[in-house]
Amino acid sequence: MTDLIIKDALSFLISFVLVTVITPYIQRKSIEIGFVDRPNPRKIHSYPIPVTGGVALFVAFFISQFLIRGFSREFLGFFIASSLILAIGLVDDWYKSQGKEFSALPKFLVQILACSIVFFMGIQIEGITNPFTHKFINFPVWFQYIATVIWLFGVTTVINFIDGIDGLAAGITTISGTTLYFVALMNLSIISTARVSTYMAAALVGVASAFLIFNRHPARIFMGDSGATFLGFVLGTIAVEGTFKVATVVSLIVPILTLGLPIFDNLFVIFKRIKEGKPIYKADKSQVHFRLLEAGLNQKQTVLFLYLVSICFSLTSLIIMLLARR
């Protein structure tokens, strides 16, 4: 176990250090080419800010993973899928930096493709254990595919949606990633893929927490859609590999609660937009952070309050898991 913890610590440290080294370079280059997020009526910043932080997150995460895990077919598949997530996010960010709108359909299709690649490389929600008979119910392949893709796409989307205020998405990812790390650690003896999840979670917490150095208020760089969707995609994958494969009712509840803040907030936003006849992907100010700002909180107070809510969700999920083990 000591050797495993050391590798996780190295995964965290490598990714953390790389983000602190790469981000300033990315920031300068972004300004040079005009790849910046410019103020508009929906934005709360008043000057152009680089929007390419996702590149630093991606590069640092995968260098860390390659050094710790080495190369494999699964690594290549996840790298390709994540590259698609990053690339389409960068295209979307570039359009926005030029004052244009990028169609939601190509982004949706590419993200579904990325989720499909992950599924076909073996990262799947395979079934559930009957709580009364304790027999494993194996889902049909078509249902495994739908459940896995919906989960991965959903988490990718909710982290992106909540990225609307300095430091929020990076902080929520740090809290959720830390929780999923401990969940995977507790599942090491019963899930073969949980070992990979601990590596990934440690690296994810490393990149997200390091990015906060540059992204906390007042932000010097944004992660953009590319970074937020990448973080969400990795979080969703960690949950499948480290939690869902236990295939119990509790294993389904834990990751949902861990990501409770972005999930429940975005469900509220989606239902609100549907009720008002607005497109689901049409950006507005209905997310919880905007509502708190309108209620009178400043940016720092809003972020700290939402961190606290996220921590409460995460602690609840861990308590439920520990109680279920008794």
Measured in whole angstroms, the distance separating CA 112 from the mean position of its chain's CA atoms is 16
Neighbouring CB atoms inside 10 A of 2's CB total: 6
Under 8 Å CB-to-CB from 117, ≥6 apart: which residues? 77, 80, 81, 84
Block residue for tokens 């400043």 = 298
Neighbouring CB atoms inside 10 A of 237's CB total: 25
Rounded to whole angstroms, the Cα distance separating 78 from 186 reads 24
Which residues are annotated as part of the binding site for Mg(2+)? 160, 225
128 DSSP β-pair partners: 137
Token pair in block for residue 36? 């910046």
Closest CA to 182 of 243, 237, 226: 243
* DSSP reduced 3-state for 133: coil
Neighbouring CB atoms inside 10 A of 180's CB total: 29
Which residues are annotated as part of the binding site? 160, 225
Rounded to whole angstroms, the Cα distance separating 150 from 225 reads 19
Residue 201 contacts residue 238 (beta carbons within 8 Å): yes
Q: Where are the beta strands (DSSP E) in 53-210?
A: 127-129, 136-138
| Bond from prior residue into 218 cis (ω within 30 degrees of 0) | yes
